[in-house]
Copies of this chain bind each other. A is one copy, B any other.
Amino acid sequence: MAVDTFDTYLAEKTAYIEDKLTPALEQVGVPTALYESMNYSLMAGGKRLRPMLVLAVLEALDKPIERGVPFAVALEMIHTYSLIHDDLPAMDDDDLRRGKPTNHKVYGEATAILAGDALLTRAFSFIAESYRERTDVSALTTVNLIAELGKRAGATGMVGGQMADIEGESKRLELNELEFIHEHKTGDLLIAALRGGGYLAEASEKQMEKLTRYGYCIGLAFQIQDDILNVEGDAAELGKAVGSDAERQKATYPSLLGLEESKVRVAALIASAKAALAEAGLEHSALTPLADYVSNRKK
């Protein structure tokens, strides 16, 4: 897929997904401030990478992307709740996210905590309610989606990664500890997106395994690229300060391996991701440019 074609693809898919987010929230019977707080963060922008991966797997396997919508929306709800909670004063204490005030700066801490809880809860009920009404997704597939999502989002996955990240702030991390954080804090939810797409598209066991590998690779590449951009990115383009990791003496790939070696790792991971796609017979799909997109991004 040519670069300009892929840019159009990304723009179309982002718009497609964003249209589905607000309608997935419940509004009747929900206190106004709670609903508004949930919607504020859900609609605060972002790459919508996790939903994008779900749809790309369905496309790659010649299935209608619409089948992936409830799961894609649920992933974005979980990603959003994790950002709300991570930004809290007791966690990273951030005032801004993507150039906008963080949830608790707008709605207060109590509401932000509850909005996160409610988004996390809604993710699961939305999957259950939505697929229950469809005839093209079996109840067993729905149960598999929920098990997968819970495993990757919870204590063994994203929440565990965030916990390790917080614990790591007060010590000098080794590379394997840093990789644990990245794998779980970011990678696991990408893997959930890919495997969820695989369940919905009735991927073969081998394809599931390769999609998992692809997700692991692009997840880690994404985080190393994040570290690299914090060293040599453009603050205006990124919408956030650069050099902050070094200032806080935070362990990063560049600080542990050097900048050049970090770039080599990114390239190697993207090559592995593409190899996994080829082994699954899925290389002629948007998953290939998506891997490049993750590693070439400037913001």
Q: Is the CB of A118 within 8 A of B151?
A: no
Give the residues from 24 to 49 in chain A that come closer than 8 angstroms, CB to CB, to chain B: 25-26, 28-31, 33-35, 38
What chain B residues lie within 8 Å of A143 (beta carbons)? 128, 131-132, 139, 142-143
Please state if A163 and B31 are interface contacts (CB–CB under 8 Å).
Answer: yes
Q: Mark each residue of chain A from 81 to 119: 1 if its CB lies under 8 Å from any CB of chain B, else 0.
A: 100010011110000000000000000111101101110
Chain A contact-residue range equals: 35 or more
Contact B113 A125 (CB under 8 A): no
Task: Say yes or no for A254: interface residue by CB 8 A criterion.
Answer: no
Taking CB atoms and an 8 Å cut-off, the chain A residues in 117-156 that contact chain B are 117-118, 120-122, 124-129, 131-132, 138-140, 142-144, 146-147, 149-151, 153-156
Which of B85, B108, B118, B162 contacts A155, CB < 8 Å? Answer: B118
Which 7 A/B pairs are nearest by Cβ-Cβ distance?
A: A125-B150, A121-B154, A139-B139, A90-B109, A128-B147, A118-B155, A128-B146
Q: In whole angstroms, how far apart are the Cα atoms of A277 and B34 in the complex?
A: 35
**Minimum distance in angstroms from A113 CB to a CB of chain B:** 6
Give me 20 A-to-B residue pairs in the complex whose CB atoms sit less than 8 angstroms apart, sorted by A's number: A26-B154, A28-B156, A31-B164, A33-B167, A34-B155, A34-B163, A38-B155, A116-B117, A118-B159, A120-B120, A122-B150, A122-B154, A124-B146, A124-B149, A125-B147, A125-B150, A128-B144, A128-B146, A129-B147, A139-B139
**Is A160 positioned at the interface, with any CB of B under 8 Å from its CB?**
yes
- A158 to B: closest C-beta gap in Å: 9
9 extra A-B contacts, CB within 8 A, seeds A30-B156, A121-B159: A25-B155, A29-B156, A30-B155, A35-B155, A88-B113, A110-B166, A121-B153, A128-B144, A131-B143
Q: Which of A28, A108, A156 has the most CB of B within 10 A?
A: A156
List residues of chain B with CB within 8 A of the CB of A30: 155-156, 160
Q: In the bound complex, what is the Cα–Cα distance between A147 and B140 (angstroms)? A: 14
Give the nearest-CB partner of A127 in chain B. Answer: B146
- Interchain CA distance A154-B119 in the complex, whole Å: 8
CB distance from A209 to the nearest CB of B (A): 19
Closest to A31 in B: B163
